[in-house]
Amino acid sequence: MRITLFTLLLSLTLPMVADWSALLPDPSPLGTEAIAEGRGALHLRPRPENVGVTSPEVDLNGLWVGELLQNAGGIAERFDLSMQLTHNGIFLKGTAFVKYQEIWAEMEVSGFQQPNGSWKLTDIKVLRAQKPKELSWCEKSYELRASFTPEGVVLHGPWWGNSEYGPCIPGSIRLKRKIKAA
């Protein structure tokens, strides 16, 4: 068991401290009484947990188009990406189509909304594809958030995954809903 000098001193002084509030800095220029009465220190007000994320009532059904970015070291920096999604409550399913030049794949995706409001999607299987023999598909997981922007609802967030060669170089995606034109 390794005991540092800090751990030893802390264990000797903790029993002697009776009033912890005396050791903590006062977070409000108005004092702790003002905070207790609800005055001052706006930054201490409770914040909604799901600011900028999708509630189950937001409809994610439809075709989403955009890009998949891969960090340095992957076969390409940018891929075209589209997802056709079916949204049912806290569940999503559909297909993802990723393309870079003549390399492409269509994958089945499935996922759910997490307690923090983000959407966890996973590539389930490759439905059809075109690639060189030496290339292995990266089966990805995504953690997406829906944000409201001037261009409409945008799905965005990180992705990571594995191929038969091991972990893939991760990245991020950004998709916006493709609106049907008349």
Q: What is the pLDDT of residues 17-41, one digit of tens each?
A: 444 444 444 444 444 454 445 444 4
- CA distance readout (Å), 168 to 84, 128, 157, 162, 163: 23, 20, 16, 5, 6
Q: Which residues lie closer than 8 Å to 150 by C-beta, 6 or more apart?
A: none
> Distance between CA 141 and CA 162 in Å, rounded?
9
User: How far lies 30's CA from each of 34, 51, 160, in Å?
Assistant: 6, 28, 47
Query: What does the pLDDT read at residue 127?
Result: 97
pLDDT given for residue 151 in this prediction = 82
Percent of the chain with pLDDT over 70: 68
- 4 pLDDT band (50/70/90 cuts)? very low
Q: Where residue 180 falls among pLDDT bands split at 50, 70, 90?
A: confident
Identify which of 142, 168, 140, 139 has the alpha carbon closest to the alpha carbon of residue 155: 142
Residue 173 vs residue 8, higher pLDDT: 173
- State yes or no: pLDDT of 182 exceeds 80: no
| pLDDT at res. 39 | 47
Are the beta carbons of 35 and 44 closer than 8 angstroms?
yes
pLDDT of residue 57: 67
List, for residues 123-147, the tens digit of each pLDDT value.
Answer: 999 999 999 999 999 999 999 999 9
Q: Which fold has domain 62-177?
A: Lipocalin (2.40.128)
> What's the whole-number mean pLDDT along residues 55-76?
88
Per-residue pLDDT at 83: 98
Count Cβ atoms below 10 Å from residue 54 Cβ, excluding itself.
21
pLDDT higher than 60, residue 42 = no
Question: Partners of 167 in the beta sheet?
Answer: 162
Write down the domain spans for the chain. Answer: 5-44, 62-177
